[in-house]
Amino acid sequence: MKAVHFGAGNIGRGFVGLILHRAGYEVVFADVAAPLIDALDAAESYVVHEVGEGARDHVVTGFRAINSATNESALIAEIASADIVTTAVGPGILKFVAPVIARALEQRETDAPLAVMACENAINATDILRGHVAEAVSDRAVLERAVFANTAVDRIVPAQPEGAGLDVTVETYFEWAIESPPFAGAAPVIPDAHWVEDLAPYIERKLFTVNTGHATIAYAGHLAGVELVYDALALPEVDSAVRAVLAETKALLVAKHGLDADEQQAYIERILTRFANTALPDRVDRVGRQPLRKLSRDERFISPAAELAESGTEPSALLSAVGTALRFVSPDDEQSLELQVWLGSMEAEQLVTRVTGIEPSHPLFGGLVREVKLAQSRTA
């Protein structure tokens, strides 16, 4: 059994690659980072070190690596004969990996469909990938040669310390929820995956709790001048901010998906404990990375805030978190720099629609304009 995985970064090696290896797949990593691919190609194994309660080390073996920037034909051949394709490249990169998958489907000769699963922090990332593959195929009939399934991935894998090589340090917790209906009873065997009938409650609960909470801490911590996530969460004002935000997303999730309120509160507490894990230093600039993506319409702040506003509730904590996100500046993060240029040069109303996709007629618009004006006055 063979799986081709795009993106040999933190989640690629420390989560998806490990789970596929444990399921018995030969994993072929595809990445554009030449030194990483060369190192993987030369290595026979790498170690995933867990930290925290019940931690253990996992040795990953039996993998190969292909540079997807320079060896496209070999990669297409690998995918054409693979059982599974996964990605962990970032939602904005899916459009670049889609043409290779399209070419592989055109060349595919086996009867068994290719399972395609995007493992990104985005609602229905596999549907987004499928859309790009559909645009790239010469004949849409070849899409029938694949099964596209959405997934939700949860494991905190921070940037790795210098000198770590291919080894990855991760938290013990993980969840890979995959929707089962697209496979019509013939899902691949992946023992560590959590198969679900309906992914919507899982992905929204994960994105609007783990990711909304984590990003809130990162932006508030950044404003407070703190570098590490656990130090940020130790500040009483950051703790209150994240709890207020998660109370708002909890109200939405409970009302929308019928989640049990006590169970959701327990989920929140568990997640706050994960964020506070001092064994896993994680930087606020990593967790806050790409603020334009994080402030977009279907993402962790605007999506829940818009739904709450539509139901007549003012999401004041989420709006404040958006206000702190607007002030996130990290020299290595192009999106944060672009956002600052826009804040200095655009009208607040125009910026709101450009960044968040929220139009003036929407009930959230006024609150967002207020936050933008506040950020503009503070950064002027």
Ligand X SMILES: NC(=O)C1=CN([C@@H]2O[C@H](COP(=O)(O)OP(=O)(O)OC[C@H]3O[C@@H](n4cnc5c(N)ncnc54)[C@H](O)[C@@H]3O)[C@@H](O)[C@H]2O)C=CC1
Which residue ranges are tagged as binding site? Answer: 3-14
Nearest approach in angstroms of CB 337 to ligand F6P is 17
Interface with ligand X (CB under 6 A), residue from 17, 91, 304, 315: 91
Nearest approach in angstroms of CB 298 to ligand F6P is 13
Is residue 154 part of the contact set for ligand F6P (CB under 6 A)? yes
Is residue 93 part of the contact set for ligand X (CB under 6 A)? yes
Q: Which is nearer to ligand F6P, 65 or 229 (CB)?
A: 229
* Residue 93 interacts with, from ligand X, ligand F6P, none (CB under 5-8 Å by kind): ligand X
In the structure encoding, which two tokens stand for residue 303, read together? 């999506």
> Quick one: which of 281, 151, 159 has its CA closest to 229?
281
H runs (alpha helix) in 197-296 = 200-205, 212-223, 229-233, 236-257, 261-275, 284-287, 291-294
Q: State the Cα–Cα distance between residues 181 and 208, nearest whole angstrom.
A: 24
* Residue 10 interacts with, from ligand X, ligand F6P, none (CB under 5-8 Å by kind): ligand X
Please give the backbone phi and psi of residue 82, each rounded to the nearest 5 degrees, phi first.
Answer: -90, 165
Interface with ligand X (CB under 6 A), residue from 3, 4, 5, 8: 8
Q: Which is nearer to ligand X, 10 or 320 (CB)?
A: 10
Q: State the Cα–Cα distance between residues 111 and 113, nearest whole angstrom.
A: 6
- Per-residue binding string, ligand X, 53-82, x by CB under 6 A, is ---------------x--------------
* Residue 214 interacts with, from ligand F6P, ligand X, none (CB under 5-8 Å by kind): ligand F6P
Interface with ligand X (CB under 6 A), residue from 6, 25, 275, 365: 6
Q: Describe the crossing of helices 316-325 and 236-257 by its angle, rounded to 10 degrees.
A: 130
Single out the segment in contact with ligand X by CB under 6 A; choices: 71-79, 93-101, 178-186, 319-327: 93-101
Q: State the Cα–Cα distance between residues 20 and 192, nearest whole angstrom.
A: 9
Nearest approach in angstroms of CB 264 to ligand X is 20
Number of chain positions touching ligand F6P (CB under 6 A): 8
- Interacting residues with ligand F6P between 277 and 336 (CB under 6 A): 287, 289
- Interacting residues with ligand X between 135 and 154 (CB under 6 A): 153
Report whether 324 contacts 220 (CB < 8 A): yes
Q: Which residues have C-beta within 8 Å of that of residue 220, sequence separation ≥ 6?
A: 232, 235, 237, 238, 241, 242, 321, 324
Q: Which is nearer to ligand X, 7 or 213 (CB)?
A: 7
DSSP-derived letter for residue 258 is: -
* Residue 268 interacts with, from ligand X, ligand F6P, none (CB under 5-8 Å by kind): none
Q: Hunting for tokens 């109370």 — which residue is that? A: 247
* Residue 322 interacts with, from ligand X, ligand F6P, none (CB under 5-8 Å by kind): none
Please give the backbone phi and psi of residue 109, each rounded to the nearest 5 degrees, phi first.
Answer: -115, -20
Q: How far is CA 197 from CA 149, 242, 261, in A?
A: 11, 30, 21
H runs (alpha helix) in the chain = 10-11, 17-22, 34-42, 72-80, 94-107, 125-136, 200-205, 212-223, 229-233, 236-257, 261-275, 284-287, 291-294, 302-310, 316-325, 334-345, 348-356, 365-379
Known binding-site residue numbers for NAD(+): 3-14
Q: Hunting for tokens 């004041």 — which residue is that? A: 316
In residues, how long is the chain?
A: 380
Is residue 156 part of the contact set for ligand F6P (CB under 6 A)? yes
Nearest approach in angstroms of CB 129 to ligand F6P is 16
Q: Which is nearer to ligand X, 216 or 320 (CB)?
A: 216
Q: Which residues have C-beta within 8 Å of that of residue 46, sequence separation ≥ 6?
A: 13, 40, 59, 60, 165, 166, 167, 168
- Per-residue binding string, ligand F6P, 121-140, x by CB under 6 A, is x-------------------
**Which residues of this protein are in contact with ligand X, per CB under 6 A?**
6-12, 30-33, 36, 68, 88-91, 93, 96-97, 120-121, 153, 155-157
**Which residues of this protein are in contact with ligand F6P, per CB under 6 A?**
121, 154, 156, 210-211, 214, 287, 289
